[in-house]
Amino acid sequence: MPGIARALHQLPLITEASAAGELSYSKVRAITRVIGTDTSALVRIAAQLAAGTSGIRNATVTDPGTAEKILLSIARHGTASHLETLIRAARQLIAPPEDLAARRSVTWRWADDGCLELRVRLTPDQGATLIAAIEAQTPKRKPTAPDPEPVPADLVERAREQEPGLVVDGVPARRADALLALVTGHTDAGTVVERGNAEVVVHVDASTRTARLDGGPTLAPATAARLACDAKVQLLLDDRTGNRMYLGRSRRLASDAQVRALTARDGQRCQFPGCPHTRYLNAHHIIPWEVGGPTDIDNLIMICSFHHKVVHEHGYEIDRVDGRWVFRRPDGTPVPDAAEPLSGKAESLVEMHARARLCIDHTTISSKWEGDSLDVDYVLSLLLLPKRITPAA
C-alpha cells in the first residue's frame, strides 16, 4: 500500500480517475507495477535497454506521460484481468523463463511479535497453481442485508465469534486460513475429529508454565492452553534447567472410544452457537488440562479450530445446562444461539463521497469493455517504440 501511494504521486491521471471512483484498487495496483516507481516494469526495461542487457532490440520506452494515458485507457475500457495479463507480458520481457525458475524460493522469519512471515517466489505457472489452490479453499463472502440501526451493542463480540474474526483485512485473512488448511490437509473432505501424529513440539516449563515453540518464539499462556487440547501437538515438559522430564500425559488426548461418544453426543459438528463446521473438530477440555482438568467425557466438548482459539484466547466459558451447552462471553453474557452475519454499512461511505463532491453510483466503476480480446502485442508496441536509427553520413 505505501508503494502504491508513492507511485500515485507520479501518476496524476490515474490518481484523478481513482479518486473519482472510475478505477478499482486492483486496477490501480496493476498500473503501478508497470509505471510510477523505480522498480516498475517499464523503468526496468529502460534500464536494461540503456545498459545493453535487454533481449529487446531496436526499441525505446515511451515517455511516462504517454504510458500513463495508454494504461488509463486500458483500465477504463478493460478489466483488472486485462491489466494483469499486460503486466505478465511486460515482466517476461525483463527476465527469460530460465532466470525465473532459478530464483524460485521459500523463505521465512519470526517477526518481533512472534508471528511467522512467509515469502514465496514461484515461476508464473507455479504461482498460478498455488493461487488457484488457495482461492479454491477460500470461502466466498455471501451478500447480506445492511446492518440494522442502531448498531448492535455486541458488535465487537459478534465480529470476534464469526470467521475470520477480528482482522485488519478479511480477504487476506481468509486466504491465510486457506493456505494453512492446504498445508494441514484440512480440506472439505476430511475426518470429523482431529487425530494423528504430533507435528508441532511445544516446550512447557514445569515451574513457570511458560511455553515456547521448538526452535521458535515464546507462546502466550492462552495459546499454550489451546495447544494442550490439540492432537497434532506434542507437549514436552522441561524442568528449571531445561532438561527433559517427560512427554505429555497419558490422558491428555481423548481416546478413540471417547471420540466416538463425543461425536454421538455432540452431533458431529462444532458446538459453538451458529457454527456450521463438521470437519477437523477438536476435543476441548472445559477445565484446562494443564491445570488438572480430566480427559473425561463430561469435561470434553467438540469445537472447530477457529472457535477453539476464540474460547481459549478471549476468555470464553462453557457450561452444561439442562442437557445443552451454554457459551458465555468474558463479561458473562451468553452467546446468542445464532447471530445474524455482520455486513458493512454503506451510509458512512455515501456521506464521505458527498463531502468530497463525488457522484459515485453502481455504474461508476464499471468497465467500458465490450467483450473483445486484449491485444497484448499491440499495447506493448505502444509502450516500447521502435528505436530510430540515424543513417550514417
Give yes or no for a contact between 110 and 217, defined as CB atoms under 8 angstroms apart.
yes
Q: How many CB atoms lie within 10 A of CB 5?
A: 10
Taking the C-alpha atoms of residue 92 and residue 123, their distance in angstroms, rounded to an integer, is 11
The cell numbers describing 322, all together, are 439442562
Say whether pLDDT at 189 is over 70. no
**CB-based contact 5:59 (threshold 8 Å):** no
Cα separation, 256 vs 253, in Å, equals: 9
- Grid cell of 164 as nine digits: 475470520
Q: Taking the CB of residue 332, how many other CB atoms lie within 10 A of it?
A: 7
Residue pLDDT, tens place only, 216-246: 788 877 777 777 676 566 666 665 554 444 3
Distances (CA, A) of 31 to 87, 287, 342: 8, 54, 33
* Domain range list for the chain: 2-94+379-386, 105-141+153-184, 200-315
Instruction: Please state, in angstroms and rounded to a whole number, the distance separating the CA atoms of residues 187 and 179.
Output: 10
**Phi/psi at 108 (nearest 5 deg)?**
-150, 165
**Of 166, 283, 189, 176, residue with least CA distance to 233:** 283
Residue-wise pLDDT for 80-121, tens only, equals 888 888 887 877 777 666 667 788 899 999 988 888 999 999
Q: Report angle CA 301, 306, 310 to the nearest 5 degrees.
A: 80
Does position 28 have pLDDT exceeding 70, yes or no?
yes
- Rounded mean pLDDT of 35-50? 82
199 and 186 in contact (C-beta within 8 Å)? no
DSSP string across 218-237? EE-HHHHHHHTT-TTEEEEE
Asked if pLDDT for residue 294 goes beyond 90, the answer is: no
Pairwise CA distance, residues 357 & 276, whole Å: 44
In the chain, % of residues over pLDDT 90: 10
Which single residue is written with the C-alpha cell 525505446?
60
Instruction: Say which range, 139-153, 302-316, 376-390, has the weakest mean pLDDT.
Output: 139-153
Tell me which residue has cell 520481457.
93
| Four-residue CA torsion sign, 60, 64, 65, 69 | positive
